[in-house]
Structure 1
Amino acid sequence: MFGFLKGDPKKKLQKAYEEKLSAAMKAQRSGDIKTYSLLTEEAEAIRAQINALS
């Protein structure tokens, strides 16, 4: 009945994905390649979850 009040998990994952990519970009620009690669890997894992929901 109140399904419209539930949060969309795909939307939450998309936001987390974008935040990880943004943080990765900032790390890359500051020269921290190790952190960049870790954040990019985490972002890709989130992207896989988004694709699984689709």
Structure 2
Amino acid sequence: MFGLFNRFSKVSMLEKKYAKLMKDSHRLSTINRAQSDLKFAEAQSILDQLDKIKT
């Protein structure tokens, strides 16, 4: 019953956030390499969280 209002699971939300950050990182790689690296590092931390949840 409590899951009724939870539309997305935590894993799917993190996967979407990871995909968005990777897309932004790729887009920024041609414009501003420093910002691209920051987005990539953020995406990497989310990937680490996903690994912890899945195992």
Does TM, scored on the shorter chain, surpass 0.5?
yes
Identity over the aligned pairs, expressed in percent?
Answer: 21
After TM superposition, give the deviation of residue 13 of structure 1 in Å: 0.1
- In the superposition, the TM-score normalised over structure 1's length comes to 0.86
In structure 1, the residue matched to 2:49 is: 49
TM-score by length of 2: 0.84
Unpaired stretches in structure 1, ≥5 consecutive residues: none
Tell me how many residue pairs correspond in the alignment: 53
Q: CA offsets, 1:1-54, max 9 Å, x none?
A: 453552210000000000000000010022x11001100000000000111110
Q: Larger relative contact order (C-alpha < 8 A, sep ≥ 6)?
A: 1
Q: Which runs of 4+ in 1 moved over 3 A?
A: 1-5
Please list, as runs of the form range in 1=range in 2, the aligned pairs for 1:3-42 lying within 5 A after superposition: 3=3, 5-6=5-6, 7-30=8-31, 32-42=32-42
For structure 2, the 5+ residue unaligned runs are none
